[in-house]
């Protein structure tokens, strides 16, 4: 099968701590608005970390055909359904005029239904096994967001879930891109969803000493590349994209945001949680994505960095960017981390950050890295500190790197024609 089919992005849906739709999300990014606050969904008195990027006042019911269905799903699936509905509406696709057997769904989650597991375990301990919900397993398993979204729209093409920690959503979009390019489908809903701001989730990441404990300054806590960073801040939400083969999009008169032109993936094969010290795995991943895209490193305008605000991670990614882009890394390339505003959405990060790249391409505005008061000496690139920057963006790169040594990079470029 030919692999020269062009793939374009025609729809975007997001649910994030800085906006529950695309317009509010972009407005927050442009204005450097943080979504980090004290956790309000449970009592954090005994927790080292008391802050997160929560999606506040989220009502899932309007996104389901039946209110009962909303109650029978975990929060991560609710986020995915909302983002998928918004992406479909944004794309303008008429399901009666497309071949649903060639319409796929890949929506991943790094952790899945952690809230359901937490709640049902409490019931098991307090009331016994006979009181466990019959919906526990289908609510908890990570593939259920993808499954239920496909059922909601009657999409009978390829359907599965990716799970690769914080690289999950980038892998979901990349694998959808690959299948469209190879002719195995014409159109996909793809992305990631996560909802781990629950007691066991916060306690678990805290036990690893991975989280920021800047509890008295929540909005200043996520500070990628800053010398005073002390860990990442958990976030929750979902990002879902509609991607499709170019001629398929043209035939239905779709509005095209940009071309999704490259995808790279690699493994560090090094450590459970730490990246390779020189960022070799991340560099290989970026190089592969650019090669697949047919784009020279010096033609890239913007990198949306993984940039989690961890000590090792930010330095290693900086080294990887220098290795890939050479002199261009310090002479023209612009890098920023939108996690400074959203927090780290874990398995949903890649698709939400892909939305940021798409809008940067369309609007000619690069979101800032807020809270970058004094860069780490080893983080010496142009990270767009504090304030968004107007600049024409022709090519954008999106990085996601996950625990387990999973690396994924996507490349988007302005659509011509």
The torsion region of residue 191 among left (phi > 0), alpha (psi -120 to 50) and beta comes to: left
DSSP string for residues in 21-32: SHHHHHHHHHTT
> Residue 90, Cα to own-chain centre: how many angstroms?
18
Cα(160)–Cα(200) distance, rounded to whole angstroms?
Answer: 26
According to DSSP, residue 93 is labeled -
Q: Provide the annotated active-site residues.
A: 166, 306, 344
Closest CA to 248 of 199, 181, 190: 181
Closest CA to 17 of 43, 38, 47, 2: 38
DSSP string for residues in 227-289: TT---B-BB-EEEEEEEEEHHHHHHTTPPP-EEEEEEEEEE--S-SSPPPTT-HHHHHHHHHH
The answer for residues whose C-beta is within 8 angstroms of residue 375's C-beta and 6 or more apart is 225, 226, 227, 383, 385
Cα(236)–Cα(39) distance, rounded to whole angstroms?
Answer: 12
Residue pair 146/107 in contact (Cβ under 8 Å)? The answer is yes
């Amino acid at each position: 099968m030919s692999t020269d089919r062009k793939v374009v992005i025609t729809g975007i849906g997001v649910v994030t701590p800085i906006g529950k739709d695309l317009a509010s999300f972009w407005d927050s990014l442009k204005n450097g608005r943080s979504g980090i606050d004290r956790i309000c969904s449970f009592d954090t008195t005994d927790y080292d970390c008391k802050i997160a990027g929560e999606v506040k006042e989220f009502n899932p019911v309007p996104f389901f055909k039946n209110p009962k269905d909303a109650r029978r799903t975990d929060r991560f699936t609710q986020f995915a359904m909302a983002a998928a509905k918004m992406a479909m509406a944004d794309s303008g696709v008429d399901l009666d005029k497309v071949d649903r057997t060639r319409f796929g769904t890949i929506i991943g989650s790094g952790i899945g239904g952690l809230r359901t597991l937490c709640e049902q375990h409490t019931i098991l301990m307090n009331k016994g096994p006979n009181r466990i919900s019959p919906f526990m397993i289908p609510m908890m398993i990570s593939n259920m967001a993808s499954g239920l979204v496909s059922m909601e729209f009657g999409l009978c093409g390829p359907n599965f879930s990716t799970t690769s920690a914080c690289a999950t959503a980038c892998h979901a979009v990349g694998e959808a891109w690959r299948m469209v390019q190879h002719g195995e489908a014409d159109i996909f809903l793809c992305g990631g969803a996560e909802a781990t701001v629950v007691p066991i989730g916060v306690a678990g990441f805290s036990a690893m000493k991975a989280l920021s404990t800047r509890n008295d300054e929540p909005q200043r806590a996520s500070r990628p590349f800053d010398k005073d960073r002390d860990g990442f801040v958990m976030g929750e939400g979902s990002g879902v994209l509609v991607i499709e083969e170019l001629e398929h999009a043209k035939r239905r008169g779709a509005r095209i945001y940009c071309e999704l032109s490259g995808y790279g993936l690699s493994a560090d094969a090094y450590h459970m949680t730490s990246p390779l010290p020189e960022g070799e795995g991340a560099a290989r991943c970026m190089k592969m994505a650019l090669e697949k895209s047919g784009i020279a490193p010096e033609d890239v305008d913007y990198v949306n960095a993984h940039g989690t605000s961890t000590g090792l991670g930010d330095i290693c990614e900086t080294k990887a960017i220098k290795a890939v882009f050479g002199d261009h890394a310090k002479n023209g390339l612009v890098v920023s981390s939108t996690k400074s505003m959203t927090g780290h959405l874990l398995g949903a990060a890649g698709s939400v950050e892909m939305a940021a790249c798409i809008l940067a391409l369309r609007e000619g505005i690069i979101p800032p890295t807020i809270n970058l008061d004094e860069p780490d000496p080893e983080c010496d690139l142009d990270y767009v500190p504090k304030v968004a920057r107007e600049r024409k963006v022709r090519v954008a790169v999106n990085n996601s790197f996950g625990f387990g040594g999973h690396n994924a990079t996507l490349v988007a470029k302005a659509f011509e024609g």
